[in-house]
Amino acid sequence: MSEVKVPELAESITEGTISEWLKSVGDQVEKGENIVELETDKVNVEVISEVAGVLTEIKAEEGDTVEVGSVIAVVSDGEAQPASNDAKPEKQEEPSKEDAGKPEATEATEATETKEESASSNERIQATPSARRLAREKGIDLSKVKTQAGDVIRPEDVESAAKPQPQAKPAEKSQPAQAKSNDNPSKPVVREKLSRRRQTIAKKLLEVSNNTAMLTTFNEVDMTNVMELRKRKKEKFQEDHNGTRLGFMSFFTKAAVAALKKYPDVNAEIDGTDLVLKQFYDIGIAVSTEEGLVVPIVKDCDKKNFAEIEQDIVDLAVKAKDKKLGLDDMMGGSFTITNGGVFGSLMSTPIINGTQAAILGMHSIVTRPIAIDKDRMENRPMMYIALSYDHRIIDGKQAVGFLKTIKDLIENPEDLLLES
């Protein structure tokens, strides 16, 4: 017998939430096979079985919060039984008697009947994670939910079970009316539990706001030259680098590295009474996902060329959207860039990421009339950029100088190539 424990996740992560069991009680598992997915503050982590055998006990359900080192399952020696009701091998005879004349009975029906017979059993109802969450929110017993199709309970099955059945309790017809009156149906609301990641995002952002003296300064960048350079070089760039596309993020990442070298306090953080000046350039790139904003890290940007940075950004964005980011992808950033322009943002004040000293915000490129000199006006593609910074570390002069360096390098991309 082997206990499955929540593994060490990272120095700052002490607990996680059971996101989805990939195996059910009674399933055969191989050594090294993933059996459960944990959702942590930063990424999802799959927990493996250290031995081969049968999953005989699950000690935490989906949605439960579990601490590092706690036992969440037990894997025993042996092989899984072929019977369909493998979650309760000690009661194999009872279902077989009931189903002797019903060879086409579904697994969901068998699971429901067994659940009704013994509420204290460890058998796990077949249901999708979203159906389980919905059932918890609505207070629905999954053992009483019937599937409309297939053998797995889905959200629509839970919704159907949640609908009132007036023929079952006609005497209580007046009660829902009273509840509706109290709930004010003219002002409907939907209450949903925040995901663990969204709770963490809220907590971290509030901590940053409360624990830093955050200030934002702005500048604007004329994107004409960098857009013309990109237009001239993008096809050749893509051919030379195995299909990697030349975007704007590599230009801003390289410009940020050059500015960080010039203003090292922007690449720092406060640790107690010490100022920690980081002499590496691991740049976090904010990525929006369905579950919220994540900030994977492009490592050693000072040592990488434009193509390597572009490819790393693409790879990390894909992993983020597929929920495949590892803890190593998220740890150790020294500075962050966020691009609200992809959503149409014209101007914003981004919030500093974690313990870092500053964050650079990019915005939409908008054609605006710009004074070339006192006699001429031209329409130019312009972008507002913002630097939110911790005023405890960085003075206004440094912040303005940092943004001015970014502006000068983007407006003169040849200089940026020389800096690289």
Q: Which two tokens stand for residue 232?
A: 């001239």
Please choose, from the candidates 115, 341, 79, 46, the residue with its C-alpha nearest in 3D space to the C-alpha of residue 220. 341
Retrieve residue 328's tokens. 């190593």
Round the CA-based radius of gyration of the chain to a whole number and report it.
28
Q: Are 357 and 208 in contact (CB under 8 A)?
A: no
Q: Report, in this order, helix, strand and coil percent for the chain, each rounded to 5.
A: 35, 25, 40
Amino acid occupying residue 227? M
Look up residue 148 and give its two tokens: 């409309």
User: Is 241 in the active site?
Assistant: no
**Active-site position among 77, 183, 240, 395:** 395
DSSP secondary structure code for residue 351 in this structure:
P
Please give the DSSP secondary-structure letter assigned to residue 147.
P
The tokens 């994670």 sit on which residue?
129
The phi, psi pair for 262, rounded to 5°, reads: -75, -35
CA distance 224 to 74: 62
Instruction: Report the SS3 class of residue 41.
Output: coil
Strand ranges, E, within 232-376: 268-271, 274-277, 283-285, 287-289, 292-294, 297-298, 335-339, 358-362, 365-371
Q: Residue 315 and residue 317: Cα distance in Å, rounded?
A: 6
Q: Is 395 known to be catalytic?
A: yes
- What is the 3-class SS of 182-201, one letter each residue? HHCCCCCCCCCCCCHHHHHH
Give the C-alpha separation, 403 to 385, whole Å: 8
Catalytic residue of the set 373, 391, 408, 415 = 391
Q: Tell me 99's DSSP state.
A: T
Contacts of 34 (CB under 8 A, 6+ apart): 22, 46, 47, 48
Token pair, residue 120, equals: 């204290």
State how far the Cα of 68 lies from the Cα of 8, in Å rounded to an integer. Answer: 6
The set of catalytic residues is: 391, 395
